[in-house]
Amino acid sequence: MEESLEGLRDKICIPYLDDILVFTESFEEQVEAVKKVLQRLQFHGVKLKPRKCELFKKEVRYLGRIVSAEGSRIDPSDTVAVTTLKEQTPSTVGELRKILGLLSYYRQYIKDFSRIASLLYDLLKSNTEDAGPQRKRKNKIRNNKRNHVVPSSKSIEWTAKHQEILEKLINCLIQPPILGFPDFSQPFILASNQGLGAVLYQQQNGKLRVIAYGSRTLTAAEKNYHLHSGKLEFLALKWAITEKFRDYLYYAPTFTVFSDNNPLTCPDLCEVERHRV
């Protein structure tokens, strides 16, 4: 599918497997774009089912999102499944994994998802992950696997605090933000938050639009970074630029970083931390 649309991809259409989204700024342009896409598909012998085609719509469902000129948002029909999570009280690791798996699928719409959900993810860890060095060494010898997987049947202690966190995450998805589309001809703004959390913004039509939220949990070694001034903050910045938002920032003309950590503005410190992280 993608090969048949070579030259049109990302210019007037976005193909993903057997889904094709055609986008333009005006109705006249849309007519011409749809015509080009259909001609290309016909040339390559690709057949479409009319009942599965939506033509000349102001908004459509695409890959589980509602896409319009304003941006993308979660399909309201999908939030029904999320809302029912409030009625669930997980009692095992397996049940909690399923809940977090569903919530994590929409994490780009939740600011600081990893920080908020950290206590829930702690319930998925084995008892030895937070143990002392000696116990960890004994456990490493006992287990041949590098990463010990906690059995799904293991019981967890679900408290009122855990329920409060779960409901907070659910509420964020019941009324999710509309994320803007990136304009690669304009600069980006990257804001690094507490821990490994970041937000990618862009000034569009005089308004600061959120393009995406990003966050992840810390590894056992990274949790000690707070003992070194600026190390955790630099790690967050490095992760946001070179990993999470790389596909955006790599093609951007310029981007500006905002951080609440003043030492990061010092080039010499950044050079030192770069070799330590």
What is the pLDDT at residue 265? Answer: 63
What is the pLDDT at residue 230? Answer: 66
What is the pLDDT at residue 141? Answer: 44
pTM: 0.69
**pLDDT tens across the length of the chain (277 residues):** 778 899 998 899 999 888 999 999 999 999 999 999 999 999 999 999 999 999 999 999 988 889 998 999 988 888 888 888 888 899 999 999 999 998 998 888 998 898 899 999 999 987 655 545 554 455 544 444 445 678 888 999 999 999 999 999 999 888 888 999 998 889 999 887 555 788 999 999 888 999 999 888 777 777 776 656 567 778 888 888 999 999 999 888 999 988 766 666 665 554 544 444 4
What is the pLDDT at residue 275? Answer: 45
Triad 196, 259, 194: Cα angle to 5°: 30
For residue 141, the tally of other CB atoms under 10 A from its CB is: 8
Question: What residue ranges do the domains of the chain occupy?
Answer: 3-56, 78-174, 188-276
What is the pLDDT at residue 125? Answer: 84
What is the pLDDT at residue 268? Answer: 54
For 188-276, the fitting CATH number among 1.10.3470, 3.10.20, 3.20.20, 3.30.450 is: 3.10.20
Triad 199, 203, 205: Cα angle to 5°: 140
**CA separation for the pair 189, 202 (Å, rounded):** 6
What distances in angstroms separate CA 227 from CA 230, 260, 275, one per listed residue? 9, 17, 17
What is the pLDDT at residue 195? Answer: 59
**CA separation for the pair 230, 228 (Å, rounded):** 6
- Give 91-130 as a DSSP string: -BHHHHHHHHHHHHHTGGGSTTHHHHTHHHHHTTS-TTTT
What is the pLDDT at residue 277? Answer: 47
Say what angle helices 160-174 and 93-105 make with each other, to 10 degrees.
30
